[in-house]
Amino acid sequence: MKIAVIGSNMVDLTSYITRMPTLGETLEAPDFSMGCGGKGANQAVAAAKYGADVLMVTKVGDDFFADNTIANFKKNGIDTTYVQKVPGVSSGVAPIFVDKSGQNSILIIKGANNELKPADIDAAAEDLKACKMIILQLEISLETVYYAIEFGNKYNIPVLLNPAPATNELDIDKVCQCDFFMPNETELAILTGMSVSDETEIEAAAKSLAVRGLKHVIVTMGARGSLLIDENGTQLVKPFKVNAVDSSGAGDAFIGCFACCYVENHDIVAAMKTASAFAALSVTKRGTQKSYPERADVLKLLNA
């Protein structure tokens, strides 16, 4: 069953640091790595690695990163019919800083991702209509995100929105028709203006979104697991305990795997459990997409 990702791609430039330099300071970092990333592309690769048939709708620049990004989609079996190059624009790029505890901070330069427009959704419409889910993030223009949600609703295709990076400009009333709304705690705090220091506060903040019409709010909480808030109440899915070396891209790993499992069996909590195992394995290795596990390894962890 096909899943569409209408979203971003980036080139991740990851520095492994001991601490952030202060203003005016030059500081040596122990290590660096480059890889394919971007929240949309990561989610597409995660879904594909777990077994989904994925259609990617995105834009790359006309620089030397572009061909590598397209080749990477193809290597992962992703349909690139609607991956377009934009002349005179850079590809999206993300400098990432990972500290000694594996926590990350990310800057994004959207580049060509900004050029993904509603007209690109129209151009892909016939193929999108055959998809069983549309996945969106906020590394493309809000205009395109809103249009994609309307498109999904019009053709009865479930829509999953990962509101990342979070912005106060997001109009919750325009995204209420999403079937799944999946922020992490930081994004939840930005979107609601509420404190999220513990699970009680996270639940309250998520509920404040759910009452506005969002059907299923799923908060990814890293080492604390994930929380589902919907008409049936609240359900916590516990995390798998692993030795974390790099958490970058773990939220995307969760979302891509969740989407794949959900379209396979429509069991939300079971999909969250599997996604949790997939994301847990991803943080045990460096990089974003590079760290994503094989389905067999995820099943092994689930059955351990």
Closest separation in Å from C-beta 186 to ligand RIB: 12
Looking at residue 169, what DSSP letter applies? Answer: T
Closest separation in Å from C-beta 210 to ligand RIB: 24
SS (H, E, C) 282-300: HCCCCCCHHHCCCHHHHHH
Report the C-alpha gap between 280 and 265 in whole angstroms.
22
- CA neighbor of 222 nearest in space, from 204, 260, 196, 195: 196
**One-character DSSP codes across 224-243:** G-EEEEETTEEEEEPPPP--
How many of the other CB atoms lie within 10 Å of CB of 13? 16
Closest separation in Å from C-beta 80 to ligand RIB: 18
Report the C-alpha gap between 250 and 298 in whole angstroms.
14
CA dihedral 131, 159, 220, 117 (to 10 degrees): 90
- CA neighbor of 132 nearest in space, from 77, 179, 93, 64: 179
Q: Which residues are designated catalytic?
A: 252
Q: Output the CA torsion sign for 259, 264, 269, 274.
A: negative
Q: Are strands 233-237 and 226-230 parallel, antiparallel or unpaired?
A: antiparallel
Residues forming the site for ligand RIB (CB under 6 A): 10, 12, 37-39, 42, 94, 106, 108, 139, 248-249, 251-252, 288
Give whichever of 65 and 240 is closer to ligand RIB, judged by the CB atom: 65
Q: Output the CA torsion sign for 140, 141, 145, 148.
A: negative
Six-digit token string for 30: 């122990």
Closest separation in Å from C-beta 106 to ligand RIB: 5
Closest separation in Å from C-beta 162 to ligand RIB: 9
Closest separation in Å from C-beta 234 to ligand RIB: 25
- CA neighbor of 72 nearest in space, from 93, 48, 90, 52: 48
- Residues, the chain: 304
